[in-house]
Amino acid sequence: MSFVPRSFTSITEMGTVAPLFDLGDGSLALNGGLAYRGSNGLFYGIANDSFGNSSLVSFSLLGGGALTTVGALGRGFLSGLAYDSTGDLLFAISNDWMGSSTLCAGWG
């Protein structure tokens, strides 16, 4: 069994892996996608906790890895985060416990 650090990591085209910052104690999983908004230089991700709650978080590479909660997204796993620069909107897919999926937009 190998240790997998909880970190945000960059990967170059040549396959070089470099940890950029630690993601903390593991109470949040950033497994819902990642989007970059060039107008403010922030990355956005979806954080899910062990109780099934999702939230939109942002961070800057210049900020040393501090996550800022943008807003609560409710219960259920949200994934597939994408940014549309034309409409200045973030999009995600919400999956409920019954297997239904919904396209969610906003947070611009």
Tens digit of pLDDT for each residue in 18-70? 887 777 777 777 777 889 999 999 999 888 888 878 888 898 887 666 788 89
**pLDDT value for 83:** 93
Task: Choose between 103 and 90: higher pLDDT.
Answer: 90
Alpha carbons 79 and 93: distance in angstroms, whole number = 5
Give the pairing of strands 68-75 and 89-95.
unpaired
Total Cβ atoms within 10 A of residue 44:
23
Tens digit of pLDDT for each residue in 31-44? 778 899 999 999 99
Alpha carbons 35 and 42: distance in angstroms, whole number = 9
What percentage of the chain has pLDDT greater than the value 70? 89
Question: Domain residue spans in the chain?
Answer: 28-106
Instruction: Check whether 1 has a pLDDT greater than 60.
Output: no
